[in-house]
Structure 1
Amino acid sequence: MGTQHTYRVIVRGTWDGLTEESRTRLLAGKDAHGLASMQFSAEGSLTYDVPLKHFSMRYVVESDAADGPEMAGAIAEDRAETHLRSLGHAHTELRSTVTDMDTMKINRKARR
């Protein structure tokens, strides 16, 4: 096992063919899944818009650095797929954006 890196992954998708039951449950939970709930975690946090068109899920993924960000993205997409399937929410193909927190450069402003 090589060096582990921490990745922040945003998985995005579009709701597609939601049942009336799914729509009702999503709309009932909209306050718990709005902008204020956005956070990165291993379990993921789901946020979505009120017209129920798009959604995103934010994950923290620990993965072998040698596997690169592609593997972290695949892991997060698999987690999202599993979670959404368990809730019975239909969606289209997922896509992800990955940031390697261990190689991210932080620009600090010089003190004056």
Structure 2
Amino acid sequence: MTERTFRITVRGVFDALTDAQRAALLADAAEHDVLRAAFTPEGTLTYDIAARPAFVFRFSATGEEEEDILEATEWAEESARAWLTERGYGFKQLRSTAEDLSQAPVGKRQRRAARTAGS
């Protein structure tokens, strides 16, 4: 079996933040800027609380079977919930999408590189 890599995106909206929570998020905003976004096993959180109350967590996970993506997605959602709950942040509209990179279409550059490597 080959190992599959999954990219999971968990999106949501902060809900009923106190003034102190909003101030804390604003103070930490540079650490959570979209330019720092990456898919990591521990998850990367991005938001722009000054613009809107939405947030995005990006997770990477692995599995051997195609069905493992379901378990990885549940794990990512639970990880996002735990992070938010541990800090006392209210949230709503949590939803996720997942992609199995082994099923992702190959881009033009990747096809060209594969042809060149095979020559």
TM over 0.5: yes
Structure 2: runs of 5+ lacking an equivalent: none
2:84 pairs with 1:84? yes
Q: Number of aligned residue pairs: give it.
A: 110
Q: Structure 1 residues 22-31 or 97-106, which shifts more?
A: 97-106
Structure with the bigger percentage of helix: 2
| Structure-1 separation of matches of 2:51 and 2:14 | 10
Q: Which runs of 4+ in 1 moved over 6 A?
A: none
What TM-score do you get using the length of structure 2 for normalisation? Answer: 0.80
- Structure 1 match to 2:37: 38
Structure 1: runs of 5+ lacking an equivalent: none
User: 1:94 Cα deviation (Å)?
Assistant: 1.1
| Structure-1 separation of matches of 2:28 and 2:105 | 37
CA RMSD of aligned residues (A): 2.1
What TM-score do you get using the length of structure 1 for normalisation? Answer: 0.84
How does 1:47-66 map onto structure 2 within 5 Å? 47-49=46-48, 50-66=50-66
DSSP-derived class of the 1:93 partner: strand
Of all paired residues, the percent bearing the same amino acid is: 32
Larger-Rg structure: 2
